[in-house]
Structure 1
Amino acid sequence: MKDASYLLLCLQILPEGIRQNLLKHPKRGDLLEVVLDLGRRPEARFLKHRGGEYLRDNEITRDDLQAAEAAVGEFGSDNRAGIEGTLHRISAIRNRKGVIIGLTCRVGRAVTGHVDMVRDLLDCGKSILFLGRPGVGKTTVIREIARVLADDLRKRVVVVDTSNEIGGDGDVPHPAIGGARRMQVPDPSMQHRVMVEAVENHMPQVVIVDEIGTEAEALACRTIAERGVMLVATAHGQTLENIIKNPTLSDLVGGIQTVTLGDDEARARGTQKTVLERKAPPTFSILIEMRERSHWIAHQSDKSVDNLLQGKQPVVEMRTRDENFRVVIEKRLYDKEEHERSDVSSLVMASKSSIKLGSSLFQEENNWVSKIGTLFKFLEIEKVASFLKQATFPTKMRWPRTG
């Protein structure tokens, strides 16, 4: 009943029929978000399920959106709003005139247990940066980390909560962050100022911030780290290489610079005279790629960056869970192409059960040609080539005749 009441707080802005359908839905416990777009049918999306489900035959009208907007109240300059006392988030899409033509109602949950994946790293007190695609659970993880650091490790923790996603909406933080203090940010463009203000005014041992995305925020992170304060943050990107190649965020892992070597040194290294090297110590000593919710790759930032710039494979820790939900840590060489292969493999697995071509499903062994065609249609050629090198094809596959 408690879960239903909490879910109802998120659904209360929806039209009555949609709300009732969702409250009775067998997968309501896995509800991720509800999408309302003008002129389209309302759609629900669920955790662990690809695609969405339409909630009614009728399309969303302007009256539906206006009623929802009135129920939400005021949106921030980032077109986000929340529901007081909860972790739910409502985001708006506007037309060129500023009128709302779409809403995304995302269900926020205080999920526990993820911190076990990095508990040993928290004990060492080094700054940690989390990367991962949207929806993989980055904010959920740093929310739980805030609670563990404040309550279990008795650290002075300040959460810089730009969109109130970590500590929820309202002036009183959600219990999910435990005893951590929370500083709200008037406007997203001021996030870097509030980060520095937190250190200057409130003497935290740990600062936690979501979505580092600008050069000013990256510089604020370095300023904080140089004062001996531990940082836990997320950033835009999925892999370490994304950050290295991003001129705005590369400083988070030390930045890169072009160096000209002498003839003897270039010969000794077996490289060209002009090479790329790390410019400074990383702001974040540890970087974690969240491939899936229970599949993480942990980097020692300085060593991994140096190795990647030299064309070598760094040693990383692959952190997963076994069938008993216990954390398994395995040291291995980093495979930067694994992420792309995982994306391709996931699409192929989905194609077997859910991708439709005409009126038939991809279920038979002799449909591999069609599947590969689908990959060429939706993915980059490099990813397809990488997949084909490792794919196991049916032994009785019959290729179609041509000509």
Structure 2
Amino acid sequence: MSLAGIAFCQAPSDVAAHIMVQDDLDAFLQILPCDLRDNLLNEPRRGQLLEVILDLGRFPEARYLGEFGGCYLRNTKVSVKELEHAQNSVGSFGGDNRAGIEGTLHRISAIRSRKGAIVGLTCRVGRAVSGQVDMVSDLLQYGKSILFVGKPGVGKTTVMREIARVLADEFHKRVVIVDTSNEIGGDGNIPHSAIGGARRMQVPEPSMQHRVMIEAVENHMPEVIIVDEIGTEAETHACRSIAKRGVMLIGTAHGERLQNIIKNPTLSDLVGGVETVTLGDGEARARSCQKTVLERQASPTFDFLIEMRDRHYWVTHQTEKSVDMLLRGKNPQVEVRRRDKMFKVVIEKSKAYDKCDS
């Protein structure tokens, strides 16, 4: 149903109840010192807990979704013994200094001294959220590749997980997740139930992600590849190679806006790349522009790009059209996808990009 360029997605009347969250918070709290565990169990905001920061010689800190900064959990500092307890409670740390808690989606990231000792831990709560996919369910039906960008903490990985489950279980696609840090499928050899029937390939080292992406296509005949945190030139080339083989790609990349991807020499290939072109005099006059201009180099790897401004406010680009408009210094038309106060998904079509909320 649409009215004045605004479409309302069909959803159950009790949409808030339709969104279900599984956070395995008990397992997360077990790695923390006892006093911090008790404090958080009695915290009314524990459902919004984002991460706990344990830095040697500093007060432990909790951070919550939707809040700036954090709050101290006690007035005594973190000790070496407490860091060792947390370290021994999780799986081994990989080359990216990340570990997990087996059977959960939680992520533990380490800060090390110059000698390799762990002097800080960022303990991040991983949640499986079902119902988030309704923000993008209409796009999934096209079978086109989608790239998600956004600042840390807006829920990109959570959305990847839910999309994997829906494509595998409801669309009956052959889905393979290339899970570099076990963030999508959780720690351990058996993937978390949140990804449904999707298959998961683990990556021994972050530098090998692009190789595992190609291996997934060549060995396991997927219809969909899902990959988190595309960040290197080798990975962008692997994405382009996979897209040329007719495989649907769902991925995330570092950046908050489409402009960040265009200006990033490593990632710009995901949206078609940029090249400098010298126009003839007649063409320059016809375009009313300078003779030297920037143009898109090739077709984008991803057909759609979604800027996740926050968890409930997304800006959707048709990548090819938006890139061309931005390179010409013009303002593209986009779709804004957001949840209203009743958590119903509202899609505003053909909205000027510069009019989108920041």
SS in 2 for 1:149: helix
Q: In the superposition, relative to structure 1, how do residues 102 and 299 fare at CA in structure 2: closer, same or farther (>3 Å)?
A: same
- Whether 1:74 and 2:86 are equivalent positions in the alignment is no
> Are 1:34 and 1:45, in contact at CA under 8 Å, matched by a contact in 2?
yes
Q: What is the CA–CA distance in structure 2 between the aligned matches of 1:110 and 1:5, rounded to whole Å?
A: 6
Q: In the superposition, relative to structure 1, how do residues 113 and 234 fare at CA in structure 2: closer, same or farther (>3 Å)?
A: same
Displacement, 1:6? 2.3
| 1:164-175 equivalent positions in 2, closer than 5 A | 164-175=182-193
Q: What is the CA–CA distance in structure 2 between the aligned matches of 1:87 and 1:73, rounded to whole Å?
A: 12
**Aligned pairs, number:** 338
Displacement, 1:324? 2.1
Show the counterpart of 1:352: none
Q: In the superposition, relative to structure 1, how do residues 180 and 32 fare at CA in structure 2: closer, same or farther (>3 Å)?
A: same
Displacement, 1:12? 1.1
Mind listing any 5+ residue stretches in structure 1 that lack a counterpart? Answer: 343-403
Q: Which of the residues 223, 226, 232 maps onto 1:214?
A: 232
SS in 2 for 1:287: strand
> Are 1:4 and 1:23, in contact at CA under 8 Å, matched by a contact in 2?
no
2:130 counterpart letter in structure 1: T
Greater alpha carbon shift after TM alignment, 151-160 vs 40-49: 40-49
- Whether 1:8 and 2:44 are equivalent positions in the alignment is no
Show the counterpart of 1:289: 307
> For residues 234-268 of structure 1, what are the alpha-carbon distances to aligned partners after superposition, in whole Å with 9 as ceiling and x for unaligned?
00000000000000000000000000100000011
Show the counterpart of 1:149: 167
Q: Which of the residues 308, 322, 325 maps onto 1:307?
A: 325
- Whether 1:124 and 2:148 are equivalent positions in the alignment is no
Show the counterpart of 1:158: 176
Bigger relative contact order (CA 8 A; separation at least 6): 2
Displacement, 1:289? 0.3
Show the counterpart of 2:112: 94
Q: What is the CA–CA distance in structure 2 between the aligned matches of 1:318 and 1:67, rounded to whole Å?
A: 45
Displacement, 1:4? 10
Q: What is the CA–CA distance in structure 1 between the aligned matches of 2:270 and 2:122, rounded to whole Å?
A: 31
> Are 1:320 and 1:329, in contact at CA under 8 Å, matched by a contact in 2?
yes
Show the counterpart of 2:11: none
Q: Which of the residues 113, 126, 151 maps onto 1:108?
A: 126
Q: Which of the residues 30, 34, 48 maps onto 2:66?
A: 48
Show the counterpart of 2:286: 268
Q: Which of the residues 75, 82, 105 maps onto 1:64?
A: 82
1:97 counterpart letter in structure 2: K
2:124 counterpart letter in structure 1: R
> For residues 68-92 of structure 1, what are the alpha-carbon distances to aligned partners after superposition, in whole Å with 9 as ceiling and x for unaligned?
2122242111000001110011110
Q: Which of the residues 286, 296, 300 maps onto 1:278?
A: 296
> Are 1:127 and 1:283, in contact at CA under 8 Å, matched by a contact in 2?
yes
Misfit runs of 4+, over 4 Å: 336-339
Q: What is the CA–CA distance in structure 2 between the aligned matches of 1:4 and 1:19, rounded to whole Å?
A: 19
2:148 counterpart letter in structure 1: F
> For residues 318-361 of structure 1, what are the alpha-carbon distances to aligned partners after superposition, in whole Å with 9 as ceiling and x for unaligned?
1111222211111234435856xx3xxxxxxxxxxxxxxxxxxx
> For residues 127-182 of structure 1, what are the alpha-carbon distances to aligned partners after superposition, in whole Å with 9 as ceiling and x for unaligned?
00000000000000010000000000000000000000000001111010000000
> Are 1:316 and 1:331, in contact at CA under 8 Å, matched by a contact in 2?
yes
Q: What is the CA–CA distance in structure 2 between the aligned matches of 1:309 and 1:31, rounded to whole Å?
A: 40
SS in 2 for 1:34: strand
SS in 1 for 2:141: helix
Structure having the larger proportion of residues in helix: 1
Q: What is the CA–CA distance in structure 2 between the aligned matches of 1:314 and 1:200, rounded to whole Å?
A: 37
1:162 counterpart letter in structure 2: T
> Are 1:131 and 1:236, in contact at CA under 8 Å, matched by a contact in 2?
yes
Mind listing any 5+ residue stretches in structure 2 that lack a counterpart? Answer: 1-20
Q: What is the CA–CA distance in structure 1 between the aligned matches of 2:119 and 2:340, rounded to whole Å?
A: 44
| 1:187-202 equivalent positions in 2, closer than 5 A | 187-202=205-220
Displacement, 1:95? 1.2
- Whether 1:259 and 2:277 are equivalent positions in the alignment is yes
SS in 1 for 2:275: strand
> Are 1:38 and 1:61, in contact at CA under 8 Å, matched by a contact in 2?
yes
Q: Which of the residues 28, 35, 53 maps onto 2:53?
A: 35
Displacement, 1:18? 1.1
> Are 2:178 and 2:227, in contact at CA under 8 Å, matched by a contact in 1?
yes
**TM-score normalised per structure 1:** 0.82
> Are 2:57 and 2:78, in contact at CA under 8 Å, matched by a contact in 1?
yes
- Whether 1:229 and 2:247 are equivalent positions in the alignment is yes
Q: In the superposition, relative to structure 1, how do residues 5 and 244 fare at CA in structure 2: closer, same or farther (>3 Å)?
A: closer
**TM-score normalised per structure 2:** 0.92
> For residues 214-235 of structure 1, what are the alpha-carbon distances to aligned partners after superposition, in whole Å with 9 as ceiling and x for unaligned?
0000000000000000000000
2:195 counterpart letter in structure 1: I
> Aligned-residue CA RMSD in angstroms?
1.4
